[in-house]
Amino acid sequence: MARAVTTNRKIINTAVAWGIGLLVFFPILWTILTSFKTEAQAIADPPIFLGFDWTLENYAVVMERSDYGKYLWNSIVIAGGSTILGIIIAVPAAWSMAFVPSKKTKDILLWMLSTKMLPAVGVLYPIYLLFIKMGILDSKIGLVIVLMLINLPIIVWMLYTYFKEIPGEILEAARMDGASLKEEVIYILTPMAIPGIASTLLLNVILAWNEAFWTLNLTAAKAAPLTAFIASYSSPEGLFYAKLSAASTMAIAPILILGWFSQKQLVSGLTFGAVK
């Protein structure tokens, strides 16, 4: 029996929630607004909220100053490539853990997650050396490999939780009908697992897109993604708030839009199936 909620209470809830929501979102909103201001308006005292002359000039300047397209492409290749490669490696592993579990399955899963706790900085120099030896420093393929490896535990874990919810009887029925292991995976499991794989893909693209230790330390001019593009704005040079805002907006827009569209799928993935 649902309790009747008074309209008054609903109004208060709405006001408080919107207030807090806007407060949390405000830094992003402010960045987007500032990106359309002139530099002088960007630091006006008192600050101008909406009543400024909207301009696209900052975007033009940022595009001219650095090759946004190149950074964007690098980000797409690195985030997308590492995620897809990770999923290809993780699907069989997660499949076997979910459907042929042994006593060690839980230990292996926890061990995998624990490798994520190894501080990256502790192995920075070895990786740096190995990359030089292999000739993949400042290359997209190098970053695809590293980001795939650091996100692999999360991918395995997420897929495992999704696979576990697929009823085993279906697989047994298929086996009875004479399906081979390969057929079982391709024709039965994969179609049922598509939603789970999709949310895993999304979350890991976001994580890889925003990863800022390896991408900053292992790239220079050639393979630098958007994290490095934006870091080049870290030393101030005269009036630069509006340009910084334009560059920031360009760096976060793709993933912000992707994230908003897929937030429902993300939630289930983020909790590793531990929270229902």
Interface of this chain with another protein, residues 114 to 173, rule: CB under 8 A: 114-127, 129-130, 149, 152-153, 156, 172
Any contact of residue 231 with another protein (CB under 8 A)?
A: yes
Q: Prior bond to 195 cis, omega within 30?
A: no
Contacts of 6 (CB under 8 A, 6+ apart): none
Among 96, 179, 192, 198, binds another protein (CB under 8 A): 96
Contacts of 37 (CB under 8 A, 6+ apart): 48, 52, 53, 54, 55, 58, 242, 245
Q: Which of 66, 69, 27 is nearest to 231 (CA)?
A: 66
CB distance 81 to 140 below 8 Å? yes
Among 41, 55, 139, 217, binds another protein (CB under 8 A): 217
Taking contact as CB under 8 A, which single stretch among the options 52-60, 136-144, 190-198, 212-220 is the one that binds another protein?
A: 212-220
Apex 170 CA angle, 166 and 175, nearest 5? 130
Instruction: Give, as ranges, the residues between 236 and 275 that touch another protein (CB under 8 A).
Output: 236, 240-241, 244-245, 248, 251-252, 255-256, 258-260, 263, 266-268, 270-272, 274-275
d(CA 146, CA 215): 9
Any contact of residue 95 with another protein (CB under 8 A)?
A: yes
With CB under 8 A, what is the number of residues at the site for another protein?
100
Any contact of residue 186 with another protein (CB under 8 A)?
A: no
Any contact of residue 179 with another protein (CB under 8 A)?
A: no
Any contact of residue 65 with another protein (CB under 8 A)?
A: no
d(CA 131, CA 146): 10
Least Cβ distance, residue 118 to another protein (angstroms): 6
CB distance 241 to 34 below 8 Å? yes
Any contact of residue 99 with another protein (CB under 8 A)?
A: yes
Least Cβ distance, residue 13 to another protein (angstroms): 4
Instruction: Give, as ranges, the residues between 68 and 87 that touch another protein (CB under 8 A).
Output: none
Any contact of residue 18 with another protein (CB under 8 A)?
A: yes
